[in-house]
Amino acid sequence: MLIELVSDLGMQATVVYEQEEGVSERVQTAFTINLALVVVLTGVAVLLAPAAAAFFDVEEETGLFRLGALNLVLIGLGNIPDGLLLRGMEFRRRSVPLVARALVSGSVSIALAVAGLGPEALVFGLLAGSAAWTLVLWLMTPLRPRLSFDREIARSMASYGVGATMLDGVAIVGTRVDQAAIG
């Protein structure tokens, strides 16, 4: 959850905050920053998979940790389109990809578990649900991304985005401190 939190560096929140119309150069820059960041974080997560598996004492499942890291890319591809729906206050439309994510994730996980796949069923379900979420978002929004980076735009967006990410982090830690202590 914390890795997902920083995976867009607040670009989704910035797209919502700025209240622009349409898909501007700022939105394209936010998408590019977000995509670059999730690719780097996915690489880091893949490299750290053995350490994560060792921490949970399941070294034999290192491959699942690596596979699960791909979820960051899938989520990253959907963050900015989701931000466009939020910006437009299209909450009813925004619920469609969320429902698709839950239905696909649950259906795939259950079907694969019944087929005897074990813990892999959960990871494949997670990935399928995130892919469905992203696909539906792309179908519902006008964003057709192109890799575009403007240094001035990036600098101005990052100043708000980093603060928004830190605030979200504090909120998550504050609401999960009891779980961390028990864990």
Question: Three-state SS across 97-166?
Answer: HHHHHHHHHHHHHHHHHHCCCCHHHHHHHHHHHHHHHHHHHHHHCCCCCCCCCCHHHHHHHHHHHHHHHH
**Tens of pLDDT along 57-96?**
999 999 999 999 999 999 999 999 998 998 888 899 999 9
Our CA angle for 48, 49, 55, nearest 5°, is: 95
Task: Say what the pLDDT of residue 172 is.
Answer: 66
| pLDDT over 70 (residue 7) | no
pTM over 0.85: no
Say which residue, 150 or 51, is predicted with more confidence.
51
Cα–Cα distance measured from residue 61 to residue 118, given in angstroms and rounded to the nearest whole number = 11
Whole-number percent of the chain with pLDDT over 90: 51
Mean pLDDT (the chain, rounded) = 86
Task: Say what the pLDDT of residue 21 is.
Answer: 81
Cα–Cα distance measured from residue 4 to residue 96, given in angstroms and rounded to the nearest whole number = 21
Say which residue, 175 or 107, is predicted with more confidence.
107
Q: Which range, 106-110, 165-169, 172-176, is most confident?
A: 106-110
Q: What is the mean pLDDT of residues 166-179?
A: 69
